[in-house]
């Protein structure tokens, strides 16, 4: 009794008509092409937005954390650290580690002299006393072992 009918732009058309099918195919291709152009334009816009840079001036007194903040920002949002930057940071990290352990040992010793309980066992008191008196010491494997003994020492 007749072909399938569809409503297209308010007109009823016969889908079995080859000219109608060609129009549908052409319209579909045009829509895909338009979508690709929009995606391309959006991609270019996003790349331009990523190129926008902000400049920030950090002001503060010495030892207030300006460099630390800058490094954290770089680590979080910037390029990863290079091998040379990591190698340059290693001595500073080791120096800070030695200083922190020295401070902990020193205050542990002071608290022990005042009669306060400390978490250092009698076996490790000599290590604590040595670590408390460290000055400009290089980080060696022996020192690492001593730090581990002190750190793990819990009464």
Which residues belong to the annotated binding site for GTP?
63-68
Contact 142, 108 (CB under 8 A): no
**Residues making up the chain, counted from first to last:** 155
Annotated binding-site ranges for Mg(2+): 67
Three-state DSSP at 7 gives: strand
Distance separating alpha carbons of residues 147 and 65, to the nearest angstrom: 27
Strands 11-14 and 5-8: antiparallel
C-alpha of 49 from chain center: 21
Known binding site: residues? 63-68
CA distance 104 to 128: 9
Q: How far is CA 76 from the centre of its chain?
A: 4
């Amino acid at each position: 009794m007749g072909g399938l009918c569809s409503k297209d732009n308010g007109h009823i058309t016969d889908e079995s008509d080859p000219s109608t099918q060609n129009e549908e195919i052409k319209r579909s291709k045009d829509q895909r092409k338009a979508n690709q152009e929009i995606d391309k334009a959006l991609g270019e816009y996003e790349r331009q937005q990523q190129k926008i840079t902000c400049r920030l001036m950090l002001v503060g007194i010495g030892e207030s954390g300006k460099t630390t903040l800058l490094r954290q920002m770089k680590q979080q949002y910037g390029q990863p650290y290079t091998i040379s930057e990591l190698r340059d940071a290693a001595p500073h990290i080791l120096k800070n580690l030695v200083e922190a352990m020295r401070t902990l040992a020193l205050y542990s010793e002071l608290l022990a002299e005042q009669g306060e309980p400390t978490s250092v066992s009698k076996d490790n008191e000599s290590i604590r006393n040595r670590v408390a008196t460290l000055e400009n010491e290089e980080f060696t494997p022996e020192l690492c072992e001593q730090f581990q003994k002190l750190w793990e020492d819990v009464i």
